[in-house]
Structure 1
Amino acid sequence: MNAIESPSTPISVGHSGLAAPLTLKTGTVIPNRIVKAAMHESMGNSRGKPSHWLLPLYQAWALGGAGLSITGNVMVDRRARSEPGNVVVEDERYLKILSEWAQQGSVGGTQLWMQINHPGRQAMHGLNRENLAPSAIPFKPELAPYFPVPREIKPDQIEDVIARFANTARIAKKAGFGGVQIHAAHGYLINQFLSPQLNRREDQWGGTPEKRRRFLLAVYHAIRETVGDDYPIGIKLNSADFQKGGYGENESMEAVLAIADAGIDLIEISGGTYESPAFTGLQQPEKESTRQREAYFIDFAEKVRERTSVPLMVTGGFRSVAGMNEALQGGGLDLVGLARLFSLDPAVPQRLLAGFDPKQAVAPRRSGVKAVDRSGMMEIVWYSHQLMRIARNGRARPEESVLKVALCYMLSNFSKGDIGLPRFRAS
């Protein structure tokens, strides 16, 4: 077990803490400050159809008391998937199960938002016929064997992608999702346009920070025009890419202020890409002050708060009720995002709202076999396995052996003649 000590008496989570509702400018009320942040569930079929297992999984998270639940990585184009198991929404063919997903994930008053995304260059070999990106920049040598060199996207294709984001948002609203979140972080397409390292265009879509932000703002405005002013639109943005010559805090601040001025309803602060995965939580923050304050990106969020009043969400690093309440009461953020903790305990909000720390701790999951643990991929498989346990049984098994899950995974895939790829990632 990875249980952590809880206080003998509950900590107050009242009107200025986790239990306080948050009203967005659209009038949407998020009943408390706890968010199930996006995780890739790997529950779409080869055509992008949502699996029926998404319904009990998201119902469990809603019944567990989350104020807001955000889906993982719904793709706007079936020709552009980031990982196996992506759900794809580019037309209304799956409207029935999408509506059921929206209904089940919203029970008890939980807000359920659809995260919408395009991977750009960040899709492994074999998933797509080709990968498009702002510029044809290859991955670092250690990842180059897994990711093909992308083709530079043409201006008419840029306009097509913008329209696809708006169309997917329209369908999400029609299906009954309470809002959408634009994924503009973690090295996906919008983040690529923002990055001076990955966007070396000389046309209207690149060359200066203002032009690199144009794609981001065009996606937002197209969605807003489609869904109207009373429908919540959130966005996930990197504080930095943590790569030399890449997207840093200064440009990130400019992007945050630009999208806030444009009218965005909620901004989630994150960081990193597949090449520098700060968002996974597997890389611990360098600053001792950050470790003490728990949240990985709180320092940047506080800088943002000094310059805009737009609601802010920070995901990553939170471990205790005290840490969450302190961050909220300090005013640097408005919502606490939790991801892997929800894969260990779907009802963790109930415990937090009662003033008690989580029973489980997010920590590296290791088998003890170096060959299995070296890449960290079996840890990803282990967490993915817990999501399916929640969907099937309503609960995870935090004490389950990583080695057992790894062996079952390998035997299953070898029997099919394909070892395959682990699919679970933070989105």
Structure 2
Amino acid sequence: MTLASPLTLPCGAVLPNRLSKAAMTEGLADPQGLPTPELTRLYKIWADGGAGMLLSGNIQIDADHLERPGNVIIDRELNEDERAKFREWTAAGTSNSNHLWAQISHAGRQCFKIVNPHPKAPSAVKVGIPGGQFGEPVALEGHEIEQIIAGFVRAVRTCKEVGFTGVQIHGAHGYLISQFLSPRTNIREDEWGGSLENRARLLLDIIRQSRKAVGSHFPISVKLNSADFQKGGFAFEDSVTVVGWLEELGVDLIEVSGGTYEQPRLLGIEGMEPAENPSVKASTAVREAYFVDFAKAMKEACKMPLMVTGGFRTRAAMEQALESGAADLIGLGRPLCADPDGPKLLLNGEESLHRYEDELSLFPPILSFLGKIKALRGAAAFAVQFWYYGQIYALGRTGKANKDLSVFAAWRQTEATHKDWLKQRRG
């Protein structure tokens, strides 16, 4: 098996190779949450880059619960003019005979205060990050949970109708579905909380109803935490059980990830708590692919294809993951922000992708001490995200990356863009 090998999914759909652009937040929707020419240009560039499948960034089902200003939103039935904008986007994103899947999400309590000071969540448990960026969440009523399920199903159906070739339900990284799954953030005592079966009910109902809405031949995938990496949170053994339930419901692909805003293991930050699974090797913390060992252990419990994202940079590591059976699809994120042709290069024999975050090289030399002080590593890793936001903005707006952009300039650009977007949206 090589990176160029096709992948046939349980539903019968075929991905032309084993590389996927992972979901990354774009922030390029218009103030109504609709696709823009910039978003269309961005995905045409990524389609030309050679990946067999592209995953969109968060498409939100509720305009009051955005992951950030600039998210695409499907929170109602779209009219024909709005659908035309989506079709322009999906046509560009599938222009290289590749797949384009929509990542569908609801931020829940991980919604910034500037968007919603009182977001809905399974329980009134506030995000445990200092700085006051997140508001006080309000526990959802039972009828509101049913409305959220209907919102996910509507978005799934709409995405199929406007030209996406598959969908991914975002159940990881501390967003709403992940919040329901975790006993740290779901302390409900009704049918939506308590046992794992109850905590997984939201996700399972979304999948069950979505499958009914789009039929058996349309790919439905789920992004799921291998673990939250927090004491008392969603543990690896819970994840394996949920994967088994999802397989029974006909899910075609699981993307294995991990962490939340409070424990951002998805960023590869050192110093995170170890996983609660003794069968996972200690090498996970230091090896190139963060979640490979979790996926390999998960493979022992399920037969459906697994996608692994996080840390891959060399072709050798990617092929090893495929050949060992730990992964069926390799997700690439940050490298494709500045080098969107990365998949094509790998398929043509390139040995590795550039890693811009090495040694915090994106910061001025005078701040090199950031990488040496353990307490500051997390803050530095979050700050570097803005540089990648800046590259996505540049690709969408100009067609080219801006590798000379500084982290601080990217942060200012992002803040200004967010404020302008919210100002226009609120009129």
Tell me the equivalent position of 1:366: 363
- Alignment of 1:409 onto 2:396: no
Task: For residue 142 of structure 1, report the CA deviation from its aligned partner.
Answer: 1.7
Q: Which of 93, 100, 106 pairs up with 1:105?
A: 93
- Alignment of 1:82 onto 2:82: no
For residues 419 and 107 of structure 1, the distance between their equivalents in structure 2, rounded to whole angstroms, comes to: 32
- Alignment of 1:92 onto 2:97: no
Tell me the equivalent position of 1:3: none
For residues 4 and 231 of structure 2, the distance between their equivalents in structure 1, rounded to whole angstroms, comes to: 40
For residues 418 and 263 of structure 2, the distance between their equivalents in structure 1, rounded to whole angstroms, comes to: 32
Bigger shift: 126-135 or 259-268?
126-135
Q: Which of 127, 145, 154 pairs up with 2:115?
A: 127
Cα distance change of structure 1 residues 71 and 297 upon mapping to structure 2, 3 Å threshold:
same
Cα distance change of structure 1 residues 417 and 197 upon mapping to structure 2, 3 Å threshold:
closer
For residues 69 and 245 of structure 1, the distance between their equivalents in structure 2, rounded to whole angstroms, comes to: 34
Tell me the equivalent position of 1:8: none
For residues 349 and 368 of structure 2, the distance between their equivalents in structure 1, rounded to whole angstroms, comes to: 41
Matches within 5 A, 1:158-173: 158-173=145-160
Q: Which of 341, 350, 355 pairs up with 2:349?
A: 355
For residues 368 and 47 of structure 1, the distance between their equivalents in structure 2, rounded to whole angstroms, comes to: 41
Write out per-residue CA displacement over residues 364-384 of structure 1, whole angstroms, 9 at most, x where no aligned residue.
432346599764454222211
Task: For residue 399 of structure 1, report the CA deviation from its aligned partner.
Answer: 4.6
Q: What secondary structure is seen at the aligned counterpart in 2 of 1:26?
A: coil
> RMSD of the alignment, in Å?
2.5
Number of residue pairs matched by the alignment: 401
Q: What secondary structure is seen at the aligned counterpart in 1 of 2:224?
A: strand
Tell me the equivalent position of 1:215: 202
- Alignment of 1:194 onto 2:181: yes
Q: Which structure has the highest helix share of the two?
A: 2
Tell me the equivalent position of 1:340: 334
Unaligned 5+ segments in structure 1 are: 1-15, 422-427
- Alignment of 1:244 onto 2:231: yes
Tell me the equivalent position of 2:43: 58
Cα distance change of structure 1 residues 276 and 318 upon mapping to structure 2, 3 Å threshold:
same
Determine if contact 1:345/1:395 at 8 Å carries over to the other structure. no
Tell me the equivalent position of 2:283: 289
Cα distance change of structure 1 residues 202 and 417 upon mapping to structure 2, 3 Å threshold:
closer
Task: For residue 391 of structure 1, report the CA deviation from its aligned partner.
Answer: 2.2
Could you tell me which amino acid in structure 1 is paired with residue 102 of structure 2?
Answer: M
Bigger shift: 123-132 or 74-83?
123-132
Please report the TM-score for the alignment, with normalisation by the length of structure 1: 0.88
Tell me the equivalent position of 2:277: none
Tell me the equivalent position of 2:400: 395
Determine if contact 1:344/1:360 at 8 Å carries over to the other structure. no
Q: What secondary structure is seen at the aligned counterpart in 2 of 1:230?
A: coil
User: Bigger relative contact order, structure 1 or 2, given CA contacts below 8 A and separation 6+?
Assistant: 1
Tell me the equivalent position of 1:324: 318
Please report the TM-score for the alignment, with normalisation by the length of structure 2: 0.88
